[in-house]
Copies of this chain bind each other. A is one copy, B any other.
């Protein structure tokens, strides 16, 4: 496992040195943080589990975002079955470190947007 500072900045260009801008460069779209929510809050692991969440992520976007999350070091792709080969997506320590961001968003959404966390 590489050190903190090495794992992401090697092959990614950022808009600025601002840590908030870098976070958004990484996960600033409508879907990526929902996948991390599914991993960290609901324990989703399999492709089909992500695909069948209530928001119905389009399958091409799901495949792309999972690939990026693995590439960015936020998820591990771990084989759990041969013939046919199947994979689990598990959070890395860095992926787990996204939980405070997701929790803060949850607090805001519950307080101001009428949101409630769906049943797992």
Contact = CB atoms under 8 A, between A and B. Distances in A.
B19 A106 contact: yes
Contact of A22 (B7, B100, B113): B113
A113 B24 contact: no
A1 interface: no
Contact of A19 (B29, B101, B113): B113
A21 B110 contact: no
Interface stretch (A30-38, A44-52, A60-68, A80-88): A30-38
Contact of A108 (B19, B107, B114): B19
B19 A117 contact: yes
22 contacts: A4-B111, A8-B113, A9-B113, A9-B114, A14-B113, A17-B54, A18-B54, A18-B118, A19-B113, A19-B117, A20-B115, A21-B109, A23-B106, A23-B113, A24-B31, A24-B33, A24-B34, A25-B30, A28-B33, A94-B112, A101-B108, A104-B104
